[in-house]
C-alpha cells in the first residue's frame, strides 16, 4: 500500500553534536590536573573497583574499555586515574553532568533550531544559517577558511595521491560547480567548526559532529571520527555509507526489529534492505514500518529537529546487581523513597525554572524469580497520574510497585521469604515523570496551585484508584501497564548497562529520551504521546467519571458561567471574533482551589463550588498569550481533542464520551482541571 513519503529534505543542513567522553571531560574540568592523563569515571559501587561508565581517549589508547571494571582497567593501564561518579542518597548523582550538558546546549542553541537528544548530544538544524551564508558570504568568497573546518572528514571526497588533505577539503568546500546541496553542506562545515570552537572556548569541552542532510545521517556521521572532529555526508556518499553499515547499528534497529530483519529476511547491512520492495517490507512489518525501512535504506528520513532544549521526562533509578538485589518490601520502599525524593527535586526545579509540569508517574523495575520455570518473566511497568509532593510520589511509587509485584508473582502470592518456592529479587528500580508540558503564560499562580495540593487519593496498592483525581493535567489517565518489550528503566546507576540484557540502550541521562530507543520505548512514547495505554481492569477508564469541562458540553451556561479550557481553545483558534469581542473575551479565568480535588463528585455542586472558589484563588488566562508550542507539547490525546475542536465536523463521536464512560475523552478538561472540593 502506498504511503505518503516523508519530505526528503535533502537540501537541509543538519548537525549532530556529540560530546567526547563526556563524564570524563566534566571531571577533568573539575580537576584540571587530570587533563591529558588516562582517566575513567567509575560507577558508584566498589565491587572490583566499580564499573567504568566513561573512558578518556588516552585510556582507550591503553586498551581500557567501558565494559571493564576499575580493577581490570588498572591492570590494563596502571596509570589510569579512576574518578568516582558523584553520589547523593546512596546513588549516582548526575546533576553535574546534566548542568554541563546544558551549558553546551545554550551555546549551540544560538545557531538555529536545537534539539537536546540526551545528556551529551544535540541536533541542530542549520539550514537557515547555511542558506544565509551561501547568499551573503559563500565559502569561495572568504579570504580564509578556518583550520578546524579544513580538518573535516568528507565522505566520498576524492583526492589525488600526494594532495594535501586540508587543501582538498578547501577545494571541496569552495567548489563553484558544486550543486546547491553540497554548497549548503560546505557552509554547514564552516558553521559547525565555528560552533565547536566556541563550545571548547566557553566550556572547555571538546565535541565531535556529523553534518548531513538529515538527522539519521548526521547521527551516523558524528561517531565516525572522534574525538574533536567532524564528518560530513554529502548526498552522493549516502549509498556507500549505508551499504556496509551493519543493520543493528542503525538507530532504532538495535533491538527486536533489527534481529527480525537479520533472522527473518537475512539482512545484515542497511544496504541489504535495498533488495526488498516497499510492499514486501510492508507485508512483513506493516505499512508504516515497511515504508520507514524502505526509506532508511535510501538515507531518507523526514524526522525534523524538534526545537527542544529541555528534557521530555525525568527519571531516577538504581540497580542492585548480584548479591545486592533487593528482597524485602521494606528495602524496596526505602529505595523508592530515595528515588522519589530525587525525582521530586528535579520536578520542582523544572517547575520553578521552566514553568513545566509533568503528569505521569511510572515505575519500572527489573526482577527475577528463583526456582521458577518462568524466571525471565518481565516485571510489569506501571503508571499513574503524578501528584506533586514528595510523600505523594513516594506513596504512589510504592503502591505501583506492589501492584506490579502482585502481577509479576501471579496468584501464588508475593511473599519473598515465606514461601521457598516463590521468591523474588529486585535488581533495578526506577521512577520517572513524563508527559511534561509548559504552563501557559499568564498563569502565575499555578505554581502555588501545584504546591498546595495535599489531600488527594493516591494510587492504591490494589492497583489504581477507582476514581482518579484531577490534580494533575492528565488526571483522566488510568493507571497503566507498559507492556513494551523495550520498557527499560532509565538508568542512573549505570552498572546495569553491563549486567542486565533488559536494560541495554537505557544508559545515560534518564531525563533524556535515549537516542537509541526504538519508538516503542516507554519513556519516549510517553513523552511523545505515541504509546497507547492499555486499560487495566479496575482502573478509572472502566469507571464512569464526571468532569466539568466535558459534561457541560463546553458551554458557559451549563458550566455555571465559567468557560473551560476547551472553550478557550475553541474561541482562540476556531472562532474568529471581532476585535471588540476578542478583547472582551480574551481574558477568562480558570479557577484553582487549594486542597482536595475530585473528578467524580456531583456536577452541580462542583460548579457552585467553583464559582465560590474563584474568589479564593484564580489566575487570568489571556487567550492572546497562549503559546502555540503548548499545543505541540500536549499529550497526544489532548492534541487530538484540541484539533478535533478546530475541525468539529471530523470530530469522532462528537458529543459522546469515548467508550461512553466519560473518562477517556475528558483530557483537555482534566488537563487544566476545574477546581472542586
The position carrying cell 523508592 is 336
Closest CA to 53 of 428, 427, 515, 497: 497
By CB under 6 A, is residue 18 in contact with ligand TTP? yes
Cell of 650: 471530523
In 10 A of CB 17, how many CB atoms? Answer: 27
227 or 538: whose CB is closer to ligand TTP?
227
Among positions 407-446, residues that touch ligand TTP (CB under 6 A) are none
User: Between β-strands 423-438 and 587-592, what pairing exists: parallel, antiparallel or unpaired?
Assistant: unpaired
Query: What is each CA distance from 358 to 39, 256, 350, 529, 635, in whole angstroms?
Result: 37, 30, 9, 13, 11
With CB under 6 A as the contact rule, the residue among 14, 20, 317, 505 that binds ligand TTP is 20
CB of 500 to ligand TTP, least distance (A): 12
Applying CB under 6 A, does 21 fall inside the site for ligand TTP?
yes
Kindly state the smallest distance separating residue 485's Cβ from ligand TTP, in Å.
Answer: 20
**Minimum gap (Å) between residue 101 Cβ and ligand TTP:** 9
Smaller CB separation from ligand TTP, 227 or 271: 227
Task: Assess contact for 487 and 493: CB atoms under 8 A.
Answer: no
Stretch that binds ligand TTP, among 14-22, 190-198, 634-642, 663-671 (CB under 6 A): 14-22
* Binding residues among 180-219 for ligand TTP as defined by CB under 6 A: none
Q: Min. distance of Cβ 26 from ligand TTP in angstroms?
A: 8
Stretch that binds ligand TTP, among 20-28, 268-276, 532-540, 602-610 (CB under 6 A): 20-28
Distances (CA, A) of 313 to 243, 292, 316, 405, 488: 35, 26, 10, 24, 14
Which one, 53 or 296, has the nearer CB to ligand TTP? 53
CB nearer to ligand TTP: pick between 31 and 417: 31
Among 27, 120, 477, 606, binds ligand TTP (CB under 6 A): 120
Which of the 8 DSSP states describes residue 543?
S
- Among residues 507, 572, 621, 642, the one that binds ligand TTP under rule CB under 6 A: 507
| Strand spans (E) along 356-486 | 356-370, 381-385, 423-438, 480-482
Q: In the complex with ligand TTP, which residue's Cβ is closer, 73 or 626?
A: 73
Cα 423 to Cα 275, 375, 496: the distances in Å are 50, 10, 21
Q: Give the total residue count for the chain.
A: 677
- In eight-state DSSP terms, residue 528 is H
Q: Cα(570)–Cα(576) distance, rounded to whole angstroms?
A: 10
21 vs 129, beta carbon nearer ligand TTP:
21
Which is nearer to ligand TTP, 21 or 464 (by Cβ)? 21
Residues 6+ apart with CB under 8 A from 37: 56, 58, 79, 81
Cell of 527: 513523552
DSSP 472: S
Minimum CB distance to ligand TTP, residue 447 (Å):
32
Residue 226 makes contact with ligand TTP by CB under 6 A: yes
User: Judged by CB under 6 A, which stretch of 16-24, 184-192, 427-435, 570-578 contacts ligand TTP?
Assistant: 16-24
User: What are the grid coordinates assigned to 357, written together?
Assistant: 509540569
Alpha-carbon distance of 503 to 499, in angstroms, equals 8
Using CB under 6 A as the binding rule, the residues of this chain from 479 to 498 that contact ligand TTP are: 494, 497
Q: State the minimum distance, in angstroms, from the CB of residue 85 to ligand TTP.
A: 8
- Kindly give the interhelix angle for 165-174 and 180-203, rounded to the nearest 10 degrees: 120
Q: Segment near ligand TTP (CB under 6 A), from 15-23, 172-180, 296-304, 636-644?
A: 15-23
| 318 near ligand TTP, judged by CB under 6 A | no
- One residue of 13, 19, 336, 400 binding ligand TTP per CB under 6 A: 19
- Among the candidate windows 13-21, 581-589, 620-628, 661-669, which touches ligand TTP by CB under 6 A? 13-21
Nearest partner of 639 among 573, 540, 589, 552, judged by Cα: 573
| Alpha-carbon torsion (667, 672, 675, 677), positive or negative | positive
Going by C-beta distance under 8 Å and a sequence separation of 6 or more, which residues neighbour residue 575? none
Residues 261-300 that bind ligand TTP (CB under 6 A): none
Q: Does 470 bind ligand TTP (CB under 6 A)?
A: no
d(CA 545, CA 132): 55
User: Closest approach of Cβ 146 to ligand TTP, in Å?
Assistant: 23
Q: Using CB under 6 A, which of the segments 12-20, 129-137, 519-527, 630-638 binds ligand TTP?
A: 12-20
For the chain, the maximum distance between any two Cα atoms, rounded to a whole number of angstroms, is 86
The residue annotated as part of the active site, out of 58, 115, 121, 278, is 121
According to DSSP, the β-strands at 52-55 and 14-19 are: unpaired
| Nearer to ligand TTP (CB atom), residue 139 or residue 317 | 317
**How many residues of this chain interact with ligand TTP, rule: CB under 6 A?**
16
One of 15, 34, 53, 59 touching ligand TTP (CB under 6 A): 53
**Of the candidate residues 435, 508, 516, 570, the single one contacting ligand TTP (CB under 6 A):** 508
H or E element in which residue 97 lies: helix 95-108
Among 23, 44, 335, 569, binds ligand TTP (CB under 6 A): 23
Q: How many Cβ atoms are within 10 Å of 265's Cβ, its own excluded?
A: 18
DSSP E strands in 371-517: the ranges are: 381-385, 423-438, 480-482
User: Taking the complex as a whole, how short is the minimal distance between the CB of residue 220 and ligand TTP, in angstroms?
Assistant: 14
CA distance 384 to 459: 7
String of DSSP letters for 196-253: HHHHHHHH---EEEEEESSHHHHHHHHTTS-SS-EEE--GGGHHHHHHTSBGGGSTT-
* Minimal distance, residue 476 CB to ligand TTP, in Å: 36
121 an active-site residue?
yes
| 225 vs 535 by CB, closer to ligand TTP | 225
Cβ closer to ligand TTP: 27 or 278?
27
C-alpha cell of 507? 544508559
Distance, CA of 137 to CA of 129 (rounded, Å): 11
Closer Cβ to ligand TTP, 12 or 226, answer by number = 226
Applying CB under 6 A, the span of 21-29, 272-280, 427-435, 632-640 interacting with ligand TTP comes to 21-29
Active site residues: 121
List contacts with ligand TTP (CB under 6 A). 18-23, 53-54, 119-120, 226-227, 494, 497, 507-508
Amino acid at each position: 500500500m502506498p504511503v505518503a513519503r516523508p519530505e526528503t529534505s535533502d537540501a537541509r543542513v543538519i548537525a549532530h553534536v556529540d560530546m567526547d567522553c563526556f563524564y570524563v571531560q566534566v571531571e577533568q574540568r573539575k580537576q584540571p590536573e587530570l587533563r591529558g592523563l588516562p582517566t575513567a569515571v567509575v560507577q558508584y559501587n566498589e565491587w572490583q573497583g566499580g564499573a567504568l561508565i566513561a573512558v578518556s581517549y588516552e585510556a582507550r589508547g591503553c586498551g581500557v574499555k567501558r565494559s571493564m571494571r576499575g580493577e581490570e582497567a588498572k591492570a590494563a593501564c596502571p596509570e589510569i586515574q579512576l574518578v568516582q561518579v558523584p553520589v547523593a542518597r546512596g546513588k549516582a548523582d548526575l546533576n553535574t553532568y546534566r548542568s554541563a550538558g546544558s551549558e553546551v546546549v545554550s551555546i549551540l542553541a544560538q545557531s538555529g533550531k536545537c534539539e537536546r537528544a540526551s545528556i551529551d548530544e544535540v541536533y541542530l538544524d542549520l539550514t537557515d544559517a547555511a542558506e544565509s551564508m551561501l547568499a551573503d558570504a559563500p565559502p569561495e568568497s572568504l579570504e580564509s577558511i578556518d583550520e578546524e573546518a579544513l580538518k573535516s572528514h568528507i565522505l566520498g571526497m576524492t583526492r589525488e595521491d600526494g594532495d594535501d588533505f586540508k587543501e582538498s577539503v578547501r577545494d571541496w568546500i569552495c567548489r563553484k560547480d558544486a550543486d546547491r546541496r553540497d554548497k549548503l553542506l560546505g557552509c554547514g562545515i564552516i558553521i559547525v567548526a565555528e560552533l565547536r570552537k566556541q563550545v571548547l572556548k566557553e566550556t572547555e569541552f571538546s565535541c565531535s559532529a556529523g553534518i548531513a542532510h538529515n538527522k539519521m545521517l548526521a547521527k551516523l556521521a558524528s561517531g565516525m571520527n572522534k574525538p574533536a572532529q567532524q564528518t560530513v555526508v554529502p548526498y552522493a556518499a549516502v549509498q556507500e555509507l549505508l551499504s556496509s553499515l551493519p543493520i543493528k547499528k542503525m538507530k532504532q534497529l538495535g533491538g527486536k526489529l533489527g534481529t527480525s530483519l537479520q533472522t527473518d529476511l537475512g539482512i545484515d547491512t542497511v544496504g541489504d534492505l535495498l533488495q526488498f520492495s516497499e510492499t514486501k517490507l510492508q507485508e512483513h512489518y506493516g505499512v508504516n514500518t515497511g515504508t520507514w525501512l524502505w526509506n532508511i535504506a535510501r538515507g531518507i528520513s523526514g524526522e525534523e529537529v524538534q526545537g527542544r532544549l529541555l528534557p521530555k521526562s525525568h527519571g531516577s533509578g538504581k540497580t542492585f546487581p548480584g548479591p545486592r538485589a533487593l528482597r524485602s518490601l521494606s528495602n524496596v520502599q526505602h529505595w523508592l523513597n530515595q528515588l522519589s525524593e530525587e525525582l521530586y527535586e528535579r520536578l520542582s526545579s523544572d517547575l520553578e525554572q521552566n514553568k513545566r509540569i509533568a503528569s505521569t508517574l511510572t515505575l519500572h523495575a527489573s526482577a527475577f524469580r528463583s526456582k521458577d520455570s518462568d524466571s525471565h518473566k518481565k516485571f510489569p511497568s506501571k503508571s499513574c497520574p503524578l501528584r506533586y509532593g514528595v510523600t505523594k510520589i513516594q506513596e504512589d511509587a510504592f503502591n505501583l510497585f506492589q501492584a506490579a509485584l502482585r502481577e509479576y508473582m501471579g496468584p501464588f502470592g508475593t511473599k519473598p521469604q515465606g514461601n521457598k518456592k516463590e521468591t523474588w529479587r529486585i535488581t533495578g528500580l526506577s521512577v520517572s515523570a513524563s508527559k511534561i508540558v509548559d504552563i501557559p503564560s499568564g498563569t502565575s499562580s499555578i505554581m502555588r496551585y501545584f504546591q498546595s495540593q495535599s489531600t488527594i487519593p493516591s494510587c492504591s496498592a490494589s492497583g489504581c484508584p477507582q476514581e482518579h483525581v484531577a490534580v494533575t493535567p492528565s488526571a483522566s489517565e488510568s493507571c497503566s501497564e507498559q507492556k513494551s518489550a523495550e520498557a527499560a528503566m532509565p538508568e542512573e546507576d549505570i552498572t546495569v548497562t553491563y549486567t542486565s540484557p533488559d536494560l541495554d540502550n537505557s544508559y545515560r541521562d534518564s531525563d533524556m529520551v535515549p537516542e537509541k530507543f526504538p519508538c516503542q520505548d516507554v519513556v519516549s512514547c510517553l513523552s511523545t504521546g505515541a504509546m497507547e495505554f492499555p486499560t487495566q481492569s479496575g482502573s478509572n477508564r472502566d469507571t464512569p467519571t464526571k468532569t466539568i469541562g466535558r459534561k457541560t458540553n463546553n458551554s458557559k451556561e451549563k458550566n455555571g458561567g465559567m468557560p473551560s479550557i476547551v472553550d478557550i481553545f475553541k474561541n482562540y483558534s476556531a472562532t474568529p471574533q471581532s476585535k471588540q469581542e476578542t478583547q472582551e473575551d480574551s481574558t477568562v479565568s480558570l479557577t484553582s482551589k487549594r486542597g482536595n480535588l475530585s473528578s467524580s463528585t456531583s456536577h452541580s455542586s462542583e460548579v457552585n463550588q467553583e464559582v465560590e472558589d474563584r474568589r479564593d484563588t484564580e489566575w487570568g488566562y489571556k487567550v492572546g498569550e497562549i503559546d502555540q508550542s503548548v499545543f505541540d507539547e500536549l499529550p497526544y490525546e489532548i492534541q487530538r481533542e484540541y484539533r478535533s475542536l478546530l475541525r468539529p465536523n471530523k470530530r469522532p463521536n462528537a458529543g459522546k464520551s469515548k467508550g461512553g464512560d466519560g473518562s477517556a475523552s475528558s483530557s483537555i478538561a482534566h488537563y487544566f482541571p476545574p477546581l472542586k472540593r
